[in-house]
Amino acid sequence: GAVVSQHPSRVICKSGTSVKIECRSLDFQATTMFWYRQFPKQSLMLMATSNEGSKATYEQGVEKDKFLINHASLTLSTLTVTSAHPEDSSFYICSARGQGTDTQYFGPGTRLTVL
Partner 1 sequence: GQNIDQPTEMTATEGAIVQINCTYQTSGFNGLFWYQQHAGEAPTFLSYNVLDGLEEKGRFSSFLSRSKGYSYLLLKELQMKDSASYLCAVSGNSGYSTLTFGKGTMLLVSP
Q: How far is the CB of 113 from partner 1 (least distance, A)?
A: 13
Question: What gap in Å lies between CA 103 and CA 113, rounded to an integer?
Answer: 29
Closer of 96 and 114 to partner 1 (Cβ): 96
**Contact footprint for partner 1 (CB under 8 A):** 2, 6, 32, 34, 42-44, 46, 49, 51, 57, 91, 93, 102-109, 111
Question: What gap in Å lies between CA 10 and CA 58, rounded to an integer?
Answer: 24
- Cα within 13 Å of Cα(91), Cβ side: 13
Closer of 1 and 14 to partner 1 (Cβ): 1
Which residues share a beta bridge with 70?
Answer: 78
Q: How far is the CB of 62 from partner 1 (least distance, A)?
A: 13
Closer of 39 and 63 to partner 1 (Cβ): 39
Contact between 45 and 38 (Cβ < 8 Å):
yes
Q: How far is the CB of 93 from partner 1 (least distance, A)?
A: 5
Q: How far is the CB of 63 from partner 1 (least distance, A)?
A: 19
Which residues share a beta bridge with 60?
Answer: none
